[in-house]
C-alpha cells in the first residue's frame, strides 16, 4: 500500500489514462478524487470500482472559477492534497489554415492554462513531499510536432517547459514531473482510420500501441517514494515511437 493516507486528485479521470491511474492509486491505498467534465456515468463507475473514500468533482478546468470551487471542496473534505495528476487534455484535428482562434485558445485553456491554475491551487494544500505529475505527449517533444494538430502539439511542448520551470520554483517541498505518452489505446483511437493506427504501430519499435495502464504505472512511479530524487524529469512512454 504505497499510497496509504495519501490524497490524490486526477483531472480528466472518467476514462482512458486518468481512469486507469485512479484505479492503480486506489489499489495502492490512496484516496482518489476524480475530476470529470461531461461523462458522469463513467466517473461514477470508476469511483464505485475503486470503492475508497474518494469523491467526484465535475469541473471545467478551462474555467478558473470552477477550478477554485473544486479545490475548495477538496480543502473542506480532506484539508490537504498530496498528489495532483494534471491529465485532462483536448485536441482539434484540423489543418493549420482552418484552425480557428477559438479552437486554439480552448486547447491552450485546457492543456496548459488549466494545468497552471490547478497546480497553483494544489500547492496551497500540499505539505513537504507533495508531487505533481503533468501529462504531455511525444508530440510535445522538440522534434515531434505533428500536423494537423498544431494546437495540441505546441500546448504539449508548453507542458514540458512548464514542468521544468515549476519544479525549480517549488523545490525542495514539492516534486514536479512530466509523462509523455505515445499513441495510447484509448477511446480516441476509435476515431482514427485503421491504416493510420497500423502506421503508428509500425513506427513503434515495440510494434504496438501503448496501453493506458502502462502510462498509469509511470505516473504512480513518479508520485511514489521510489522517485523521491526525481523532479523536473520527462519520462517518455511510447514503445520507442519517438525514436523513428
Q: Residues near 197 by Cβ (< 8 Å), separated by ≥ 6?
A: 183, 189, 209
Helix 114-125 vs helix 150-170: crossing angle, to nearest 10 = 20
- What phi and psi, each to the nearest 5 degrees, are found at residue 57? -135, 115
Q: Is 205 a catalytic residue?
A: no
* DSSP 8-state secondary structure symbol assigned to residue 112: I
Question: 43 near 14, Cβ under 8 Å?
Answer: yes
Helix 114-125 vs helix 64-78: crossing angle, to nearest 10 = 20
Which of the residues 36, 108, 152, 205 is marked catalytic? 152
Active site residues: 152
Amino acid at each position: 500500500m504505497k499510497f496509504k493516507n495519501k490524497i490524490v486528485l486526477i483531472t480528466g479521470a472518467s476514462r482512458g489514462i486518468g481512469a486507469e491511474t485512479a484505479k492503480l492509486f486506489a489499489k495502492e491505498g490512496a484516496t482518489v478524487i476524480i475530476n470529470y467534465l461531461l461523462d458522469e456515468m463513467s466517473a461514477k463507475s470508476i469511483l464505485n470500482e475503486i470503492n475508497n473514500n474518494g469523491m467526484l468533482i465535475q469541473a471545467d478546468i478551462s474555467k478558473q472559477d470552477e477550478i477554485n470551487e473544486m479545490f475548495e471542496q477538496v480543502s473542506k473534505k480532506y484539508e490537504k492534497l498530496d498528489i495532483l495528476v494534471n491529465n485532462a487534455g483536448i485536441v482539434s484535428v484540423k489543418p493549420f489554415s482552418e484552425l480557428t482562434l477559438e479552437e486554439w485558445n480552448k486547447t491552450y485553456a485546457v492543456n496548459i492554462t488549466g494545468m497552471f491554475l490547478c497546480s497553483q491551487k494544489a500547492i496551497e494544500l500540499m505539505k513537504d513531499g507533495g508531487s505533481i505529475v503533468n501529462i504531455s505527449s511525444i508530440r510535445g517533444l522538440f522534434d515531434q510536432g505533428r500536423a494537423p494538430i498544431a494546437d495540441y502539439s505546441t500546448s504539449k511542448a508548453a507542458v514540458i517547459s512548464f514542468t521544468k520551470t515549476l519544479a525549480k520554483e517549488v523545490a525542495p517541498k514539492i516534486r514536479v514531473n512530466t509523462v509523455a505518452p505515445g499513441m495510447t489505446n484509448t477511446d480516441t483511437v476509435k476515431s482514427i482510420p485503421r491504416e493510420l493506427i497500423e502506421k503508428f504501430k509500425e513506427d513503434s519499435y515495440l510494434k504496438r500501441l501503448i496501453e493506458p495502464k502502462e502510462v498509469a504505472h509511470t505516473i504512480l512511479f513518479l508520485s511514489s517514494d521510489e522517485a523521491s530524487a526525481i523532479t523536473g524529469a520527462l519520462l517518455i512512454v511510447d514503445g520507442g515511437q519517438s525514436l523513428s
